[in-house]
Chain A
Amino acid sequence: MNWVRRVGLGLVCGWLLGCASLQAPAFDQTALDQAVAAREKAMAVVTAGTEPYSQHEAEVTALRAQVEAAAAFAASRPHNEVVAKQWQVMNDPQAHLLGGYLKRWQALGKLNPGFALEAGRSIGEGFDKIIELEQARKH
């Protein structure tokens, strides 16, 4: 009976596709909220880069903790390696986004206005890429 074979083939194909390793995390509102909140806090702190670092050390410490919490949450979600890597780059003091900016500010004591403004734009753009990816997971 040919139709039995065709039905069986279709169901087997469906089962095989279900076992494929292509898995993506579902949209997570907490993750999106964390990214948006971290961006807002980061922009406020980065703008203060033209002032002495010592006057803003507590804010920087709080921001670093907030970003590390968001990064840890991203790393805890299954199949979320891509976003975890994004947070890693953003937070890395050896890179040239938020982590690198805070490190440079601390090292130099104060940053010139032109640099603070332009670096702030880059940092904001970086956060936008994390936010946009999470938003893309909404179906």
Chain B
Amino acid sequence: MSDFKQFAQEAEANLKNLVTADFKDYTQAAMADGKAFLERSRQDLERWLQLRAAGQLTDDDLLWLIQSKKDLAVLQALKQAGVSQTRLEGFKNDLIQLAIQTATGAAAQGLQQLVPKPPANPA
């Protein structure tokens, strides 16, 4: 029972390390990318309104550009979905490796138990 507990603890620790390694940087990067897109959109809209006020854009131009931002938001969301897909594929592969390594580690431990210990040298 203590062998299984040790195996489970080792597997859990390895899994935590794997999740942290695979997703921490990605989450931060995805958040930063999303914020950058929103900020750029805000700046673009401000500039377009100024251009409209200056007569360099018509109402139809302005409407078209605003709608282009909606389409860009779709492309942004698709990009993030694609990046997530790639990350998950990598995580899946790492998880398979972890499962095999943990299992073979337990197998090696089990094999050691089968090998009889050599007798102690008589005094």
Chain A residues near B (Cβ < 8 Å): 1-4, 6-7, 9-11, 13-14, 17-18, 20, 22-24, 79, 82-83, 85-86, 89-90, 95-97, 100, 104, 112-115, 118-119, 121-123, 125-126, 129-130, 132-133, 136-137, 139
- Measured as residues with beta carbon below 8 angstroms from the partner, the interface class of chain B is 35 or more
Asked if B18 is an interface residue, CB under 8 A from chain A, the answer is no
Contacts of A10 in B (CB 8 A): 99-100, 102-104, 106
Chain B positions 91 through 104: 1 when the CB is less than 8 Å from some CB of chain A, otherwise 0: 01001100110111
- B24 CB, nearest partner CB in chain A, Å: 16
A70 to B26, CA, bound (A): 28
Contact B110 A136 (CB under 8 A): no
Contact A89 B110 (CB under 8 A): no
- A11 CB, nearest partner CB in chain B, Å: 6
Most-contacted residue by chain A among B75, B99, B100 (CB, 10 A): B75
Asked if B58 is an interface residue, CB under 8 A from chain A, the answer is yes
Q: Interface of chain B, helix or strand or loop or mixed? A: helix
Contact B103 A118 (CB under 8 A): no
Contacts between the two chains (Cβ within 8 Å), count:
140
Contact B3 A2 (CB under 8 A): yes
Contacts of A115 in B (CB 8 A): 57-58, 61, 64-65
Contacts of B85 in A (CB 8 A): 22, 24, 79, 82
Pairs A–B under 8 Å by Cβ, sample size 27? A1-B110, A3-B113, A6-B3, A6-B4, A6-B107, A7-B110, A11-B100, A11-B103, A18-B96, A22-B92, A24-B82, A24-B86, A82-B81, A82-B82, A86-B75, A90-B75, A96-B65, A96-B67, A100-B64, A118-B65, A119-B65, A122-B44, A122-B72, A126-B71, A130-B75, A136-B82, A136-B86
Closest 8 pairs between A and B when the two form their complex, measured CB to CB: A10-B103, A3-B110, A114-B56, A96-B68, A14-B99, A82-B82, A24-B89, A122-B68
Known contacts A11-B100, A86-B79, A118-B48: A6-B7 contact under CB 8 Å: yes
Contacts of B82 in A (CB 8 A): 24, 82-83, 133, 136
Contact A3 B92 (CB under 8 A): no
A104 to B67, CA, bound (A): 14
Contacts of A118 in B (CB 8 A): 44, 47-48, 51, 57, 61, 65
Contact B88 A7 (CB under 8 A): no
Contact B67 A14 (CB under 8 A): no
